[in-house]
Each structure stands twice: as C-alpha cells, then as structure tokens.
Structure 1
Amino acid sequence: MGTLAGCFWMAENRLRAAGVKRVVGKRDKRLIAGAIAGVEKRFLHIQVGFAKIVSCRLFVHLCSSNIAAIMGFDIPMKTTLLTVGLALFMSLCAHAQEKLSVGWSIYPGWQDNALMGLKLEPGKPSFLERRTKEAGAQVEIHKFKEYTASIDALVAGKLDAVTLTLSDAMGIPLDSGVPVTCILINDYSNGNDAIAAPKGSKFEDLKGKSILCEQYSVSQYLIWRALQIKGQKSDFVTFRNTPGDECSKVFLTAVNTASPVTVATWNPHILRIMASGKAELLFTSKEIPGEIVDMVVVRTDRIKGRENAIAAYVKAHYDVMKYLTDPATKERAIRAMASTSELTPADAPLFSEMLAATHFYYTPEDTIKFMESPELKAQHDRIRTFLKEVGAFKGANPDSYQVTFDTSFIKQVK
C-alpha cells in the first residue's frame, strides 16, 4: 500500500478513535486501497506548492464518489472528504520533500558542516534550519571520524554527498564507477600539508631515502610535486606506506634515535612535529597554491530531485562563511569550529594556526571564479596524471575520468 493509502487509514483510525460507529470494512478497504493506489501513481511527482494543493483537491474529487459509496461514516460527507483531503495533502507534502544526506570528516575547511547546524545566535534557528525551511527540503549532516569511511559510504550509496579532496574524488568514487559532481569548493591547502625531516636537513639529503606517507593520498601528491619542482626524478626517493595520523608519532619516536625518519603528512600532525623543535620543513603546500583542493561532491545520479536541498546546503555554507569573516562574530565562529574539531585540549590552540594555513573561498564570487577557471581544469588533469603514474587507478579507462564542476547552485546564493 502506498504513502497516500497509509495516510488514509491513519485518518480512518482517528475517526474510529473519535467514536464514529461505522468504519470501513476489510473488503471495502481493499477496494479503496486499489482506487487510491491508481491515483497515487499519477500525483507523486507533483512538486511542493500551489500545484500540490490543486493536485490534492483533484485527488479527492477523483476518489470522492467511490469513497462516499463505500465508507458509510455516520458523519457528513463534507467532513469526511475534508479529513481525507487534509491527510492526503500532508502525505503528498511529506513524500515530495527533498532530502539530501551529506557526510563530512574533521578538517578546518569542512567545519562549516558542524557550524551550519548549530544555533549560534540565541532565539534564532541554525543556518541550515532556516535555509531548508525556505526550500521546503531536508538536509542530514553526518559526521565521520574516519575520512576514508565517509567516501566509502558515498560509493556504497549510503550518502548523497561527501567532503573530500579533488584527488580522492578521482581516485575513489570515479575509479569505483560512481560519477560525482562538485557543487562547492571549500578551500585549498596553503601550508596544512608538508614534508618534515630532522632538524638541519635539506631537500637534497633525501636522495635514496624513504619517506613515510599515506599511499595515493595528498601527501604522496605533495612529494610528487616537490620532486618535479626540485627537478628530481621519481626514483630520487622511495615511499613507505604509513597512515597520515601515524606519521607524527613515528617521527617523534625516531627523531632522537640513530634512525630518524622523514614524513609527509597534514595538520595538526605537522604542527605537532614542528612544536618539538627537532624538525625542518622541506616543502609545503604553500609552494603549490590551488593544487590540494578540498570540496563537496554529490553523486551525479542523486542530483535530480534534490536540487532544492542542494541549494539550501550551499546557502547555509555561505552563511557560515559570512559568520566567520564578520568581525563581530569571527572569534565566536573560530571557537565553535575548534570545539567541534575533536582536538585534544593540548592541540586546541593549534586550530587557529590550521585556519591560517587554509585558503578559504569565502564568497560565492571567489568560488565561482576558481571553479570555472582554466587553472582548476589544469589541476584536475595534473591530479589524474599523478594517480596514473603511481598506480592508484584500478579501472579500465582512467583517461576518461572526469569530475564535473557545477556552479549553478552557488549562483543561487544571494
């Protein structure tokens, strides 16, 4: 039985509870269920708004003659139809309301996902609540402790959208046969990623040595780019696959031994390493601005039918950006971001340094300019070349991999 039919029986049960003596029998219920199901199929596609109201009235009109003959309620038919019509209208509205699920993991550029759901001002709704109410849509924000797990959830169809880097968009969803569309670029790393070696080291000292980094990650991309810029071949160093959040622990354990190591990782791990006073930064993402890109993608097959929800999410993002840049609320915004980042008390002061090493696209205009730029297209192709060279792709035709960039939702922000 469909949504409308279920809502009809809910109305009938309420009438029974109100003391109406004659209610619909089992045989009659089957007849009404069939009548409703037939009409239901013709109206589920109608959007929320005036057309929905008209469709509901038409639905009642189409069903009323059969309902009148079958129901036999001991109340006026006008009241019966009004009750049924209201129940059906509510059902239609609930059924057609768009719903978007977004997954995110902790990173300065993605903390907006936490803030947009908070009531930052007393007596006022959250940014996301206000925007979804305007759009007549729902947006569910899901926080993941593990970055890769959020991307896997997108690939498995458990999420509609997720926060990730450009390289991982190509290396995981696309390589798994799941086309994705970028609806928003949050930022690029402007020092949050780095290669750290023992104090006093120089880049040329790395020849023939191993660098610890997470395989196929932006850390390996950083090394790949560093070798290009320094004029070195790929065999100048070797890689030892190590989870990014383990690199700082290994570095700090080995730095005082006869076998110190060099690592490539991201913040806050780099900041922890540098705080020891025993490390040297040999190369950082500040030297390749606009290349390590953080963004939000939607499964391309989940965009249709969720346009209003996506637009509401994007608008809520820029509400957070405005809150973050307004001198009157900036410090409050930073404190809120830090409180949702799950940093240890010892690392909490590092959050402001992480923000400083993140180049945000604060306005719709700046984001659109970058998303539609030839520089981003060139970076997209460079990332694909990198992933091919290091053997990250498992698909048959990686040359065809293309992340779609869609600025239409950002252009709706006013």
Structure 2
Amino acid sequence: MGANLGKVGKTALIAATLALASCSGGEKVAEKRTEFSIGWSIYAGWMPWPYAQQAGIVKKWADKYHIKINVVQVNDYVESVNQYTAGKFDGVTVANMDALTIPAAGGKDTSAIIVGDYSNGNDGILLKGANSLAAIKGRRVYLAELSVSHYLLARALGNNGMALTDVKTINTSDADIVAAFASPDATAAVAWNPQLSVMAAQPGVSKVFTSADIPGEILDLLVVDTATLKANPDLGKALAGIWYDTMKVMVAQDEQGKQARAAMAKLAGTTPEVFEAQLKTTFLYAQAKDAVAATQDAKLIETMTRVRDFSFSKGLFPGASSADAVGMAFPGGKTLGDPARVTLRFDDSFMKLAADGKL
C-alpha cells in the first residue's frame, strides 16, 4: 500500500501544517464531541470499514458509546491523508510510512490505534521481458515517488547490491500507473493492489520483488488525531469494536464470511475472485491479541527506524537536521527520535481492550 505525492506538494503541505501548529499557541486541546468522521480509500486491507458501515456494525458500536461515526470514502488515497492532516477527518486509513511523512512530519500529533495488516505481496516491482531484479539496472521505473513504493524499491535494490542511483524514477500517481505501464516504453514499475494485479497480468510481465520479501515492513493502520482521542476515548473503543467485529465475519470460512468478502469486493469495484486473491497477499491481524503482539514487538521499532531513515534521506522531514527530528512513541514507554517532539504514537490500548473482551 502506498501514496503518491510529489516532493514539492508534500513539502508545501508540511510547511502549511507547521504554520498552523505554530499559530495555535502550543498543544492542541480537543473538545468532547459526539460526531466523528473517518476517511478511507480502496485497498484490500481497508475494505472492512465500508462493509462495517453497510452491515450496521459501525452503527452498533457507535450507538453503544452514544456517538455517531461517519465512514467516508475518498477516491484518491493521498488526498484522504491530506484531508486528515488538514483536520477534515478525525481519523484515516494509512500506511505506516505515509502516517510518518505526512501528518506526523507536519506536526500533527497522530495515534495509530489499529494495526490492521501488513502487505505480504500486495506491493511489488514489475519488469517487462525479464524475470530477475538485476535487469532493472538502468531502467526508468514508474512509481508513486516518496511513497511506500519508493521505499520498497530502495529495499529491493539494497538487498541486491544496487542503489536508487542505478535507476531513474518516474513519478506516477496510483490513478495513472496502469495506463502508463501499458505503454511499450514503460518496462519497469512499482505498484500496489489492485493496480499491481492488473499490471502483472500483461503479457511478458514478471514480479521480481514484492513486499512478501520484507514481511511486516509495509503496515496498514487506522490512525486518529491524538488530541481528539484523548478528549473522546470512546471513539477509540468504538473503532476497535467495529474493526474486530468485522474481522470475525470477514475471515470466517462459512457462507456469511463468503458473502461479507463478496460485499467488500463489490465496494472495492472488483470481483470476489480478485478480492480473494488480494487477501492472500495481505497478512491480516484478525485477532486483537496478534495485533497487540505485533505492536509490542521490538521489530516494529526496527521497521520504523528503516522507514524514517529512508524518509529523511529523501527530504521528507523539511528543515530537519537529522532523522531524529520526528519523534515516535511505542508501547512500554519506548521512543524513537526526539522524545520532546513525538507526533506519531503506536497506541495498543484499544486493541488490548478488544483482546481482553473489555470494550
């Protein structure tokens, strides 16, 4: 999973967010509220959200906590993250790298309250006329620059004795990448599903590296504005309840589960067969206890160290003198980067309540 936002656009957004933060007179104080909005975009691991709304699961949990939750689709993934960063949404579905480089790097204190899945083959590198990554050297690679696609490319090249300087990247949005790769001139690309599976089906195309080669590094999250969450903890409880209730139905190997997945496929604009194939390359943390364990695992800090070092190297922390400029907090009081400037928090408390049956 990933985002498309050119360096200039992302830097401008961060600058604007920082300017807003500096005008607010310090830490944001949120009020207690009863209505909230969560943004989502199409991706296999995020289809439980619109399904939960359609199936009445959102209403069930919102009613329990006497609140209203609007689950809102945004057709462009990065636009959904931008809108969250600008305050239009209280939460959003986002990949770990983009949570760090868009809201967190822009000074918006953000809490990841659900670690939903990791990409286990849903992101991949494609080549025409070759079946080995070595053949990528010297090629133009179409991808969403400064996204997890770019990160995947850097990891793949590094694992195979190459560097980003060995290729030329062509910034291409997720909306345009299928058409761009159909051109005979385009012989290399990095994409995520559903685009990846469409592109891989072209004649003479091979997947030469996927996120399954770096398991657990491309995480898909639900994040919520930290100040809003502090003022309204019932929002976090309701969202966790919605997610794990929906997971039970989604992973069930019975008629109800099959119908739920078919409904998610329809919401994603694809067929049940294609959606089932995408789920096979998505490692879902369907059980809350497994998501808690993954969030508490030291490997998460290793992953986020790699992600932030890559992000800093690409200039995604404007004005920062080191990768430590954007602080991150993890369960157990562990931090990465500047502990005085923590703007991304991996908060396992709501997942724990779900695991312990205390929602």
Q: TM above 0.5, one fold?
A: yes
Shift of 1:384: 0.3
**Counterpart residue number, 2:100:** 170
| Equivalent in 31, 35, 48 of residue 112 of structure 1 | 48
The whole-number CA distance in structure 1 between the counterparts of 2:167 and 2:301 is 29
**Contact 1:111/1:337 (8 A) holds in 2:** yes
Higher strand share goes to which structure? Answer: 2
**Counterpart residue number, 2:5:** none
**Counterpart residue number, 1:196:** 126
1:334 maps to 2:249: no
TM-superposition CA deviations, 1:43-92 (whole Å, max 9, x none): xxxxxxxxxxxxxxxxxxxxxxxxxxxxxxxxxxxxxxxxxxxxxxxxxx
1:216-255 correspondence runs (5 A)? 216-254=146-184
1:260/1:242 CA distance change after superposition, 3 Å: closer
The whole-number CA distance in structure 2 between the counterparts of 1:326 and 1:233 is 43
The normalised TM-score by structure 2 is 0.81
Higher helix share goes to which structure? Answer: 1
| Equivalent in 393, 396, 405 of residue 317 of structure 2 | 393
One-letter amino acid matched to 2:215: P
**Contact 2:92/2:222 (8 A) holds in 1:** yes
The whole-number CA distance in structure 2 between the counterparts of 1:200 and 1:232 is 17
Shift of 1:342: 2.5
**Counterpart residue number, 2:35:** 99
The whole-number CA distance in structure 1 between the counterparts of 2:353 and 2:186 is 52
**Contact 1:99/1:306 (8 A) holds in 2:** no
The whole-number CA distance in structure 1 between the counterparts of 2:296 and 2:36 is 25
| Equivalent in 342, 348, 352 of residue 407 of structure 1 | 348
1:261/1:96 CA distance change after superposition, 3 Å: closer
The whole-number CA distance in structure 1 between the counterparts of 2:293 and 2:99 is 21
**Contact 1:108/1:358 (8 A) holds in 2:** yes
Shift of 1:180: 0.6
Shift of 1:348: 5.8
SS of the equivalent of 1:303 reads helix
SS of the equivalent of 2:87 reads coil
| Equivalent in 115, 120, 123 of residue 185 of structure 1 | 115
SS of the equivalent of 2:118 reads strand
The whole-number CA distance in structure 2 between the counterparts of 1:382 and 1:363 is 26
**Contact 2:111/2:225 (8 A) holds in 1:** yes
**Counterpart residue number, 1:300:** 226
SS of the equivalent of 2:208 reads strand
One-letter amino acid matched to 1:312: A
1:108/1:242 CA distance change after superposition, 3 Å: same
TM-superposition CA deviations, 1:246-265 (whole Å, max 9, x none): 222222221xxxx4421111
**Contact 1:173/1:179 (8 A) holds in 2:** yes
1:142-181 correspondence runs (5 A)? 142-181=72-111
The whole-number CA distance in structure 2 between the counterparts of 1:96 and 1:200 is 57
Gaps of 5+ in 2: 1-30, 329-343
Shift of 1:301: 1.8
1:177/1:96 CA distance change after superposition, 3 Å: closer
The normalised TM-score by structure 1 is 0.71
1:213/1:260 CA distance change after superposition, 3 Å: closer
1:353 maps to 2:289: no
**Counterpart residue number, 2:60:** 130
SS of the equivalent of 1:232 reads coil
| Equivalent in 278, 302, 306 of residue 378 of structure 1 | 302
SS of the equivalent of 1:253 reads coil
The whole-number CA distance in structure 1 between the counterparts of 2:177 and 2:203 is 16
SS of the equivalent of 2:94 reads strand
**Contact 1:100/1:306 (8 A) holds in 2:** no
**Contact 2:134/2:160 (8 A) holds in 1:** no
The whole-number CA distance in structure 1 between the counterparts of 2:241 and 2:150 is 34
SS of the equivalent of 1:404 reads strand
**Counterpart residue number, 2:21:** none
**Contact 1:187/1:360 (8 A) holds in 2:** yes
1:317 maps to 2:243: yes
Give the paired residue count: 307
Quick one: percent identity of the two aligned structures? 29
**Counterpart residue number, 2:187:** 261
Shift of 1:392: 2.4
Higher RCO (C-alpha 8 Å, min separation 6): 2
One-letter amino acid matched to 1:152: N
SS of the equivalent of 1:172 reads helix
| Equivalent in 287, 297, 308 of residue 213 of structure 2 | 287
The whole-number CA distance in structure 2 between the counterparts of 1:137 and 1:209 is 52
SS of the equivalent of 1:318 reads helix
